[in-house]
Amino acid sequence: MAAEIYLNVAVSGVLTGLVYGLMAVGLSVIFGVVRVVNFAHGEMMTIAMYLAIVLFNGFGLDPLAMVVPLAAVLFALGYAMQAGIINPFITRPEHSQFILLVAIALVIVNVLLIVFGPDAHNVQTAYSFDSFLVGPLIIDATKAYVGAATVAITAALFGFFRLAPLGKAIRACADNYIGALVVGLNVKRLYALTFGLGAACVGAAGSMLVLLVDVTPALGPALTLLAFIIVITGGLGSMPGAVLGGVLIGVTEAMAGLFFTPSAKSMFSFALLVLVLLFRPQGILGTRPS
């Protein structure tokens, strides 16, 4: 096979991986700070995707323009979920949390099924079929736009966590819960804010993913699993890690599909996950928990 094929596929893998990376950043924030096993992460993303579809099909609003509003909506949803339902479960054993979120996920998936039906829905914009010719490369236009938007949002997020006082407070919480309490931070509120932020990432990612992927209610659980794989591979609590993990998984799967039989390409992601769990459980960019 000619070299361009590999290059094309790799570029495509990187661009798609960036979006998944943004989704994983949301989980990294939630899992890393609030320590909640958010098994409804992918389902929340499908809510954002369906909202984007309603806005597009109903009002003609391009999903790329809806990134910020949808992020805000999901922020509110996440905040409410954490403050209202999840908070008491933080100190409970993991399996309790897990069941709570599985139940929430089950409700979300099936409500979406009742409202939208089981058929795939998608968004077809004017540029849905475009591609750029860059030398020997054919780059999917939509993926390029989405990739650029993701980079911008992720950079903004990093800036927030590094520079804004609220961001630093949240990181403090993650690093040392007791210390944060001692210092007088309102941990409960910070948790809710963090969950909201994680959900906002999901909202933004979902708004963009809907341009690349068709949504069905069943997509939720698949995205949840993918998010966990990326976060663990990239490094828990490390946002650059989540993005890196996303890109890595995106490229690995794409190349695996090219070299081997595509129907088995997910096996490589799982194999990668197992290797990471065994040999570097903190992930590629993560830090060992204290």
Interacting residues with another protein between 23 and 42 (CB under 8 A): 37
Q: Is 88 exposed, middle or buried (0-12, 13-18, 19+ CB in 10 A)?
A: exposed
Q: Does 68 bind another protein (CB under 8 A)?
A: no
Q: How far is the CB of 32 from another protein (least distance, A)?
A: 12
Q: Return the structure tokens found at 143.
A: 């993926």
Q: Does 98 bind another protein (CB under 8 A)?
A: yes
Nearer to another protein, 128 or 186 (CB): 128
Residue 23 has a CB neighbour count (10 Å cut-off) of 31
| Three-class DSSP category at 60 | coil
Cα gap 58→54, rounded to integer Å: 5
Size of the site for another protein (CB under 8 A): 74
Find the angle CA(283)-CA(288)-CA(290) to the nearest 5 degrees: 150
Q: How far is the CB of 72 from another protein (least distance, A)?
A: 26
From 68-76, 85-93, 145-153, 192-200, give the range in contact with another protein by CB under 8 A. 85-93
Residues 135-154 that bind another protein (CB under 8 A): 138, 140-141
Q: Does 114 bind another protein (CB under 8 A)?
A: yes
Cα gap 41→114, rounded to integer Å: 20
Q: Does 83 bind another protein (CB under 8 A)?
A: no
Q: Return the structure tokens found at 149.
A: 């938007």
Q: Does 95 bind another protein (CB under 8 A)?
A: yes
Beta bridge partners of 139: 132
Q: Does 66 bind another protein (CB under 8 A)?
A: no
Among 65, 76, 94, 156, binds another protein (CB under 8 A): 94
Q: How far is the CB of 206 from another protein (least distance, A)?
A: 13
Q: Does 90 bind another protein (CB under 8 A)?
A: no
| Contact present, 27 and 205 (Cβ < 8 Å) | no
Among 58, 261, 288, 290, binds another protein (CB under 8 A): 261
Beta bridge partners of 133: 138
Q: Is 227 exposed, middle or buried (0-12, 13-18, 19+ CB in 10 A)?
A: buried
Nearer to another protein, 38 or 154 (CB): 38
Q: Does 228 bind another protein (CB under 8 A)?
A: yes
Q: Does 134 bind another protein (CB under 8 A)?
A: no
Cα gap 207→220, rounded to integer Å: 14
Cα gap 187→142, rounded to integer Å: 40
Residues 180-209 that bind another protein (CB under 8 A): none
